[in-house]
Amino acid sequence: MSDKEILADSSRISRRQLFQWAGAGLLVNVAGTLLYDPIGRISMPINEAFEALLLSSQPTPEFPITAIEPERLIVNSFRGIPSIDLANFQLTISGEVDRPLALKMADIQQLPFTSMVIRQVCVEGWAAIVQWGGIRLRDLLTLAQPRSGAKYVYFKSADGYYESWDLASVVHPQTLLAYQMNGKDLPAENGAPLRLAAPIKLGYKQSKWVTEVVVTSQLLPKRGYWEDLGYEWFGGL
């Protein structure tokens, strides 16, 4: 399944058309993460559809290394920092794929390395410019070979956190499974040995301590930890 096939549908409507519709008032609160209010429940599906259509397969602007802001990156944890035995750690890729994978860190680190300096944005209102290094998720999925009906990817973490993304966001060229931060090994508090990192999603979408990647054709009832409590599912920037 090629990236071109995966992303074909998102290129049929121009961005100009989308912004015209938004300007006409048909789409509201595009970037908002909405909680349990009635307006939010009504507008959230529209917002998510709009964000999905705006998603571009082209890279978003990055920053020079001199712009990194290590002091601004706040550490958020879900249930504290999990204890992970790195010697026996494996990342599994399963679900609707033709080649399920179980990879040790040594296997992962042999794959093509990508580094990027991007802005990390949290729904709580803070942001930090960070350098992430690791492997593109699209490279992993190329190895696993998603089946033709695949549309979503679930991420399970060692601390019990869970997330789901649309497949187009997963194969974006700046979506990484990172094992480095600011040019050094990823610290445990920031998600080691592997965490999601991408400039196209809000922070709560970027799971830490990722252990499982599951490809599906349907979005399951449990969509994500915070989303199941009322946050927007797409979480795009």
Residues 189, 116: Cα–Cα separation, whole Å: 20
Residues 208, 17: Cα–Cα separation, whole Å: 36
Mean pLDDT lowest among 27-31, 38-42, 192-196, 216-220: 27-31
Q: Return the closest-CA partner of residue 123 out of 196, 2, 230.
A: 230
Mode of pairing for the β-strands spanning 210-216 and 91-95: parallel
Q: What percent of the chain has pLDDT over 90?
A: 69
Please provide the average confidence, as pLDDT, over all residues in the chain. Answer: 83
Q: Decide if pLDDT at 230 tops 60.
A: yes
pLDDT of residue 183: 97
Confidence of residue 56 (pLDDT cuts 50, 70, 90): low
> Domain coordinates of the chain in residue numbers?
61-229
pLDDT of residue 237: 84
CATH architecture of the region 61-229: Alpha-Beta Complex (3.90)
91 vs 22, 124, 152, 193, CA distance in Å?
40, 30, 18, 10
Q: Decide if pLDDT at 6 tops 70.
A: no
User: pLDDT per residue over 72-106, tens digit each?
Assistant: 999 877 788 999 999 999 999 999 999 999 999 99
